[in-house]
Structure 1
């Protein structure tokens, strides 16, 4: 099954740029920028950066980001990180990737929000010119930001809407920080026809998902792990074809679930909720998209047809132009047909 899953054409919708750098890139950037790291030993640094199941909360999960963000304060580093991420996922046959990040986290050395976004867009353009991969950029507001800061980020996202930015997101510390505090930003995105996704039901209950959908008009939900708490909401999400961006390894690390065996993805899948598999962060979650598919096979016993469905769910839920999406899905289905013929 490993070869099949590695070769399966895939799309990822939930990936944080600042959590998906190469360890060697962090080391190189730190040396070049004269930034002090906790260690310059590759293995020791990797151990500090990669979370595992001993991680106890979302707050603890965020700690390694301080290291990666320290080297992502220049245009060159943002451009390089974007290019390398697309290069890395292309190697496991990811055909489409949505990369998300919060520009405010990259302003410590004085970069403007526009310069930061444009650097990421350059990295995206370079990778797409070299590899057969498409991508979209998602600008993240953060729950710990002020409402005015997130409104400014929503304006930024709309400004670059037809230049590579495909959506606006709300991420960050969920518990005790209501999504509705940032309603104005999402109303602005909605009025300007910019797609919306919201981290919800990860470190808080189903009511957080409810607010994201009915308050912020989210098209997709990041994680949605606690959706099972509200069966009426689950039916609404299923019937309205709202997609869940599920991140299995990350959910275990943040303790959104206590074990992978008790993760509700299998119940959502059986109830025909649109679920997709994602990494959250390649480096900080210590995973790849292929590994996430392998977890689903080993623990939930998904078969090849299930993986076809999961993969197509992601392509269908992608925040891209309808014509572009249909062309991409047509090519993916053709590739899947050949793959299935070779793996009977």
Structure 2
């Protein structure tokens, strides 16, 4: 008897979210609550109107258009309470759909408008996530982002921050922001520092710009994973390099549709990547801005691209295999997850047999 992939079943499965932005995943009600508490002026205090302003849809025209909501959200993330709360609630929201491991990324430089120090910002986010781990049983890590469209010296400063907080909650370094005309190689010094300190690297690449962006992320900046990689399909030789070296792709379907990295979901190359054997993972990118969850992303792939259950299970395991965790810890977690999936499958099949018998 085959597993029926309902939303309820996918929600039960243990999952990862390796590519999720803190400031793109703050609850609408939390944004309003913090704005009221700290007398922060938002474009609107009406929840429905604010949702319309922040949440993207198919009408979004580009990555730059997609990014327009973030400065509004960041108005309320300029103090330690806001940062701690946003991190804590993100852990709560993820754990509610059985995301067992999550890597949260953000750029501390965007939270200094009210005078907070980079170290204070970093500690607040880590504290929020750690409290979430204790309360909800999820495991988390922080990825600090440099920003492509800022001066490379800022990225270097953020890399120094990431190195200082390594083994204290920070597990990686990233490069985010507007991709077009802002090459990763300009930020090479920051990545050299991170790599020399044995820090994990992931870089947004191949989302709003072509394979050359992925090439730079790999060969100039030494990335271990690719954020998005939607346009990798345009360069077969580079695609083979990524596949041969088992470099994971952090795929975010809804976000890619919103940023116009793809014209529609059925045009997304994820199914080809899977068939070809690339290490594909499925992620949210921004829970609030894209109005999505990890479960929703899997259901989108199932309904629009016809992914079957063995493929879904394979992608889930890819997520755990690609985690920025020490090897022994990763193996322990994978074995635990496999056992849990077996139990969920067995329970699902037993339930279906009972239902069939009662018909």
The CA deviation string for residues 28-56 of structure 1, in whole angstroms up to 9 with x for no partner, is 00001101111111111111110011100
Could you tell me how far apart the structure 2 residues matched to 1:272 and 1:340 are? 24
CA RMSD of aligned residues (A): 0.7
Equivalent residue number for residue 346 of structure 2: 341
Equivalent residue number for residue 287 of structure 1: 292
Which of 52, 58, 64 is equivalent to 1:53?
58
Which of 37, 40, 46 is equivalent to 1:35?
40
Equivalent residue number for residue 225 of structure 1: 230
Give the TM-score taking structure 2 as reference length. 0.95
Equivalent residue number for residue 328 of structure 1: 333
Give the TM-score taking structure 1 as reference length. 0.99
Displacement after TM superposition at 1:159 (Å): 0.5
Displacement after TM superposition at 1:320 (Å): 1.1
Runs of 4+ in 1 over 4 A off after TM superposition: none
Equivalent residue number for residue 86 of structure 2: 81
Matches within 5 A, 1:81-120: 81-120=86-125
Displacement after TM superposition at 1:303 (Å): 1.3
Displacement after TM superposition at 1:342 (Å): 2.4
Q: Please give the secondary structure, in 2, of the residue aligned with 1:13.
A: strand
Could you tell me how far apart the structure 1 residues matched to 2:215 and 2:325 are? 25
Could you tell me how far apart the structure 1 residues matched to 2:334 and 2:137 are? 14
Displacement after TM superposition at 1:343 (Å): 2.8
| Corresponding position: 1:199 with 2:204 | yes
Equivalent residue number for residue 9 of structure 1: 14
Q: Tell me which structure has the larger Cα radius of gyration.
A: 2
Unaligned runs of 5+ in 1: none
Could you tell me how far apart the structure 2 residues matched to 1:57 and 1:242 are? 26
Equivalent residue number for residue 244 of structure 1: 249
Displacement after TM superposition at 1:205 (Å): 0.2
| Corresponding position: 1:180 with 2:185 | yes
Displacement after TM superposition at 1:339 (Å): 1.3
